[in-house]
Amino acid sequence: MGSVIDFFLILTFPPPGKTSGEVHDRLCHKYPDKAIVTLGYGPDFTVLRSRGVLMNIPQMVRELQKEIPEASINGGGHLVVGSIKFVGGLRTKVLAKLAEKIGKAEVGMG
């Protein structure tokens, strides 16, 4: 995981999703036979990209909303790409729970 805020100015180009996507693409190119999950995060959001990991981001968002209601989690996406917004003060808790869920996901490089 890495904070995109550490490398780019806030509210400028490129946006966090594009930046995270570029990092993800480079990792996929460097490790073509590996399953890869990339999390780019900022103070109150995370952007997810994955390849070869069978996870359902909208389902994970729904689970996180129930498990940490005080975080006001919102977001979604597709099975392999998505983003999540949350209360910044609970970033560590949200990212830890998210990492736990990703760690349980099945790997399937097809």
Please tell me the distance from the alpha carbon of residue 19 to that of residue 13, in angstroms, as a whole number.
9
d(CA 61, CA 66): 9
CA–CA separation, 37 and 4 (whole Å) = 15
Task: Determine the 3-state secondary structure of 2 from DSSP.
Answer: strand
Q: Of 85, 81, 80, whose CA–CA distance to 68 is shortest?
A: 85
Per-residue b/e over 25-58, b at no fewer than 16 CB within 10 Å?
eeebeeeeeebbbbbbbbebbbbbbbbbbebbbe
| DSSP H or E segment with residue 84 | strand 81-85
Per-residue pLDDT, averaged over 40-54, amounts to: 93
Question: What pLDDT does residue 15 have?
Answer: 83
pLDDT digits (tens, 9 = 90+) for 62-100: 999 999 999 999 998 888 899 999 999 999 999 999 999
109 versus 41: the higher-pLDDT residue is 41
